[in-house]
Amino acid sequence: MHEHFQRLKSTGFFWRGTIEPTRPFRERSEALKGCSNTSTFPFQGGRKMTWHNIMKSSKLKPGKKKMKTVKGKMVMVGRQGTALFATEALCRHMRWPLAWGAKVEDDCVRCPLHQTTYNLNDGSVIEWSPFPFIPAYGKLVGAMSKKKDLRIYQVRDHEGMIQVNFSPPETV
C-alpha cells in the first residue's frame, strides 16, 4: 500500500494544503503518459479529437461484432473483412442489443428483433421494422416509435488497439 501512495505522490496528486498541486501540470502529465486509455490529438477543424480504447485489435476477428461500454456509452464495434465499424449498441426501434444476432452485410446492419436496417456509412434508416413474416404486425410495431437514425462513430486500429471517437465527423 505504501508503494501505491508513493506513486501517487510522485505524479503530483497530493496537495500541500493549498490550492496548488505539488508539481506543475505539465510535469504531472508527463509522468502519467501511457497510463490513460484515451489519446488526444491536436485540434482538427476547431475540435479536439479524443480517441478511446475499446479493445485489443487481435480480439475482434473478421465478421464478428462485440458490445462494449466506453465512457458511459454502449458501443457495438465490428469488423467486416478488414474494415472496422462502430455504432451505438442498441437498435433505435426497440433498444435491442445489435451485437446479439444482428446481420451485417452490404454496409448495412439489420436488427434481429424486428428487422430494422441501418446504413453503416451514415446511420440512416433503410427499412423501419418491416417484420417480413407478418407485414401488418411489422407496421403496427414500427408505429410504436418514430424513425431514428443509428449513431455511427469514428473508429480506427491504432497500435494494436481499436479506438473510437465520439465527436461527430468533420464536415467539409
Contacts within 8 Å (CB) and 24+ apart, 56-59? 56/160, 56/161, 56/162, 57/157, 57/160, 57/161, 57/162, 58/160
- The phi and psi torsions of 142 (rounded to 5 degrees) equal -65, -30
For the segment 41-68, the average pLDDT, to the nearest whole number, is 80
For the segment 77-92, the average pLDDT, to the nearest whole number, is 92
Fold classification of 37-165 is Rieske Iron-sulfur Protein (2.102.10)
Give CATH 2.102.10.10 domain extents, the chain: 37-165
Predicted local confidence at residue 103, as pLDDT: 87
- Tens digits of residue pLDDT in 104-132: 988 899 988 888 899 999 999 998 877 66
Is pTM beyond 0.95 here?
A: no
Predicted local confidence at residue 3, as pLDDT: 55
